[in-house]
Chains A and B, each alone.
Chain A
Amino acid sequence: MYTLDLVPPGGRVRIVDLRGGRELVSRLMQMGLHPGAIVEVVENSKGPVLVRVRGVVIALGRGLARKIVVMPLR
């Protein structure tokens, strides 16, 4: 298990855990980033991490991406 900011572009992972304040976690979950959700990393270099989840691209700051624990698919 590792965090979302370490996933290379094109990687598909499953979210395992969200660490962070209640409001932030609730907001992320309602946007589809809940534990169990499968996300595809679209872009991940220096700036925010771009992920595709449920057909929508969402930009997440790197600090935030570090709080999202993921595991590789299969």
Chain B
Amino acid sequence: MSSTKARSAKGGCNVLGCPCTGILTRTLDAKGGCDILVAVAGNPNVGKSTLFNVLTGEIAHVANWPGTTVMIKRGQPVEHQGRRICFADLPGIYGISASSPEELAAREYIISDEPDLILVLVDSTAPERTMYLPVQILELNPKVIVALTKIDLTHSYGIHIHVDKLEKHLGVPIIPVSALKGIGMRELLNTIVDAAEGRLKLRKTPLRVDYGSLEPYISEVANMLLKAGALRRYPARWAAVRLLEGDPKLEEELRAEGKDDLLERVGVVKESVRRFTGREASELLITARFEFVDTIARDVIVRVERDRGFSRMLENLLQRPIIGPITSILMLFSAFLLAFAINIGFPLNLLFRMMGLEWVADLVETYSLSGILSMAFDWAGTVIGDWLTKYGVADWLVSLLVDGVIPGVGSVLTFLPLIMLSFAFLSALEDSGIGPRIAVAFNTLFSRFGLTGRAIYPYLISLGCNVPGVMASRSAIEEEERVEIIYSTQFIPCQARLVVLLAFTASYFRSPLAQTTLIIVIYMLGFAIALFTAFLVRKVLFKLSEPPELVLEIPPIHRPSGKVIWWTTWDFSKHFLRKAGTIIFALSIATWYLLSYGPLGPAETPETSWGGIIGRAIAPALILIGVTGEKAWKIGFLLLNGFIAKEGLVEAAVLVEGASSLPEALRGLGLTVPQVISLLVFSTLYVPCLATLSVIYQETRRLKHTFIAVLYALLIATAAGGVSYLISTALGL
């Protein structure tokens, strides 16, 4: 399994020293320049990312999503007492039964001799549940240190843990920590150094859980393994327990060792367990292990009822049948309106227009974040252009910079504020514990379309930008659901499409009410088509009739941490900048070329450029959405630009019409109202932009699927555009 060994190349190699893959680095220097290597393991939500971030000063969040590739990422080394301590971040897991790729990757890493120590995290606010993982790991590998996380919150939940008693039970050092409050971090590092250098005694042998009536069977299998010399890289007792529980990986290894007969004999033992107890060995073993945890928990944990006031009230409210979902939708809705309002002034601008306060609306638009940023880039373009011309730089180069590069960079940066704001709101909801409750609230609706409530996250992110929305599909547990999300998110109108909608509606409709209605209808259409697409993918592509199953931990509600919000936001934005940034940048240069050059060299007008020629080629097809005649090639040209980047659609209108302002350019196209409506419906749905498309390819790794996604979108958009043209004509609009 090569992905098990996958890791970032950061582990101690400098820029020049690591020209090859991680594999080579591994053989040359397994420790990668670290004196002590610590593997960090813990359940999801246990506070692992937070601890990891604080320890290494790095932000590792997205890397640990459940997904197709399992990365064991190593952070920057931490200097402590003159030693370089490195931390390897294992994926969030509930156990090491190897029933998922994450569990298998973590287990392989734990048994390899690579880590000096394994740091297992136990959530001090949910100790009974999270203590199961260290017990499981200790059965396999005794070199464990346990950190009790979120220790600053324990008492407010009415929990008290006797740390010294717990140390005796498990026989390992236990350090209470709070990464956010900086409690216990020094002690943790001291313990790590002392343990690694033998000054502190760790366990010598694996932990022995008493499996009661199953012990004879375990000994029998263990003896069989020892006698046959099978599965020698694992402790015999542990391998015996795992074989009785049923472990696909170990069974595969036995077969690879040519010990199929052994496997059969294990089957016989399992059968006799079933005959004598009437229950499966796996059930009995897992129950016994939990009972072992319970016995310890009863001895070391004291719980008292605590009044948690507002948090408790909010929890009750959000869990109510009808009020809960409504409240959560309202919360989401206002969060997004706020993000939109700050960034592009919408919907405040329309509100002010409705009240007849035209000048206030203009002010809101001009001084919204994206308004200010685009002014800055316009200004920079003009200044740099003048300056370059003054110093005699070639015309084509000035044009490339001023018309291609600067607006390209600008378009990426004008998206950044909304994306960051959306992520900040979402991670605040997530960290506070409200997010999972929202996912629960949406589950009933979404399950009709073959999704779980968790899909609400990628959809919401897509309202800002589809690129991270597609990436967020990784939060799905089931592979089929992940694919459903990848194909459907492209129909959620992103901010760039909102810009197009706003520009056209403002130019063609007087009444702010008509503008708002049209925009809302198109948004609802986008969501409806997204859900329908998910349904279609599940039914037709995967031929599944059952919706995916929701399994989601619902943490208690608490005040979100500013640090965590910032980490998530920055991590996501960084990914966006890197992925979308490079693509949009490259594409804006390509667009510039298409618009400035034609078959005869530099193009005098857009009509004779490559872009114009392609637009003309698209034009005949536009009859399907009601656009015909001389303006058809212009619309084709606009749509080509919109494919490259959605907001490019309106910018191209200015070029084509040679107009001085956007409304003038759009009106200059001379569209009828039904044509505007069908064009807007079509342009919202027709294809994801190139950046989104490239991410769809990255996530599916199938060129065929990406191609089908585009064809499907074109089909849906043409149908929806055509129908809306017919309806609006029939209505006499």
A34 on the interface (CB 8 Å rule)? yes
What is the CA–CA distance of A55 and B97 in the complex, to the nearest angstrom? 22
Query: Given A56-B126, A57-B553, A58-B553: A63 and B440 within 8 A (CB)?
Result: no
**Interface SS, A side:** mixed
CB-CB nearest in chain B for A43:
B319
Query: Given A57-B554, A61-B550: A30 and B95 within 8 A (CB)?
Result: yes
CB-CB contacts below 8 Å: A21-61 with B: 22-24, 26-32, 34-37, 42-43, 45-48, 50, 53-61
Contacts of B374 in A (CB 8 A): none
B50 on the interface (CB 8 Å rule)? no
What is the CA–CA distance of A57 and B126 in the complex, to the nearest angstrom? 10
What is the CA–CA distance of A42 and B437 in the complex, to the nearest angstrom? 13
Q: Which of A22, A32, A42, A57 contacts B132 (CB 8 A)?
A: A32
Q: Which of A26, A56, A62 contacts B553 (CB 8 A)?
A: A56
The reply to whether A59 and B552 form a contact with Cβ atoms under 8 Å apart is yes
Query: Given A55-B128, A61-B549, A63-B549: A31 and B443 within 8 A (CB)?
Result: no
Nearest Cβ on chain A to B550's Cβ, whole angstroms:
4
Query: Given A48-B550, A60-B551: A34 and B290 within 8 A (CB)?
Result: yes
Contacts of A63 in B (CB 8 A): 447, 546-547, 549
Contacts of B190 in A (CB 8 A): none
What is the CA–CA distance of A30 and B290 in the complex, to the nearest angstrom? 9
What is the CA–CA distance of A43 and B554 in the complex, to the nearest angstrom? 12
Contacts of A26 in B (CB 8 A): 95, 97, 99
B279 on the interface (CB 8 Å rule)? yes
What is the CA–CA distance of A57 and B312 in the complex, to the nearest angstrom? 13
- Looking at A29, A37, A63, the one whose CB has the most chain B CB atoms below 10 A away is A29
Nearest Cβ on chain A to B477's Cβ, whole angstroms:
8
The reply to whether A35 and B551 form a contact with Cβ atoms under 8 Å apart is no
A64 on the interface (CB 8 Å rule)? yes
| Size of A's binding interface in residues, CB under 8 A | 33
A-B contact count (CB 8 A): 115
| Size of B's binding interface in residues, CB under 8 A | 42
Nearest Cβ on chain A to B157's Cβ, whole angstroms:
9
What is the CA–CA distance of A71 and B69 in the complex, to the nearest angstrom? 40
- Looking at A22, A45, A47, the one whose CB has the most chain B CB atoms below 10 A away is A47
The reply to whether A30 and B132 form a contact with Cβ atoms under 8 Å apart is yes
CB-CB contacts below 8 Å: B265-281 with A: 279
Contacts of B100 in A (CB 8 A): 23, 27
Contacts of A59 in B (CB 8 A): 436, 439-440, 443, 550-554
Nearest Cβ on chain B to A32's Cβ, whole angstroms:
5
What is the CA–CA distance of A29 and B287 in the complex, to the nearest angstrom? 9
The reply to whether A61 and B452 form a contact with Cβ atoms under 8 Å apart is yes
CB-CB contacts below 8 Å: B91-147 with A: 94-95, 97, 99-100, 126-129, 132
Q: Which of A31, A42, A47 contacts B94 (CB 8 A)?
A: A31
- Looking at A32, A45, A58, A59, the one whose CB has the most chain B CB atoms below 10 A away is A59
The reply to whether A50 and B287 form a contact with Cβ atoms under 8 Å apart is no
What is the CA–CA distance of A22 and B282 in the complex, to the nearest angstrom? 11
Nearest Cβ on chain A to B305's Cβ, whole angstroms:
13
Query: Given A26-B99, A59-B440: A31 and B246 within 8 A (CB)?
Result: no
Nearest Cβ on chain A to B535's Cβ, whole angstroms:
16
The reply to whether A30 and B554 form a contact with Cβ atoms under 8 Å apart is no
B321 on the interface (CB 8 Å rule)? yes
Nearest Cβ on chain B to A63's Cβ, whole angstroms:
6
A-contact bits for B541-579, CB 8 A (1 contact / 0 none): 000001111111111100000000000000000000000
The reply to whether B129 and A64 form a contact with Cβ atoms under 8 Å apart is no
Contacts of B552 in A (CB 8 A): 48, 58-59
Nearest Cβ on chain A to B556's Cβ, whole angstroms:
8
The reply to whether B94 and A27 form a contact with Cβ atoms under 8 Å apart is yes
B79 on the interface (CB 8 Å rule)? no
Contacts of B447 in A (CB 8 A): 61-63
Nearest Cβ on chain A to B715's Cβ, whole angstroms:
31
Query: Given A31-B129, A34-B287: A47 and B99 within 8 A (CB)?
Result: no
Query: Given A46-B444, A48-B443, A50-B440: A64 and B94 within 8 A (CB)?
Result: no
CB-CB nearest in chain B for A44:
B321
Q: A36-B287, A48-B440, A61-B547 are in contact. List 15 more A-B contacts (CB 8 A).
A: A30-B97, A31-B129, A32-B132, A34-B286, A36-B283, A45-B321, A53-B129, A54-B129, A56-B128, A57-B554, A57-B555, A58-B554, A59-B554, A60-B549, A64-B549
Q: List 10 A-B contacts (CB under 8 A).
A: A26-B95, A27-B94, A29-B286, A37-B287, A43-B321, A47-B444, A53-B129, A56-B126, A61-B447, A61-B548
Residues of A near any B CB (own CB < 8 A): 22-24, 26-32, 34-37, 42-43, 45-48, 50, 53-64
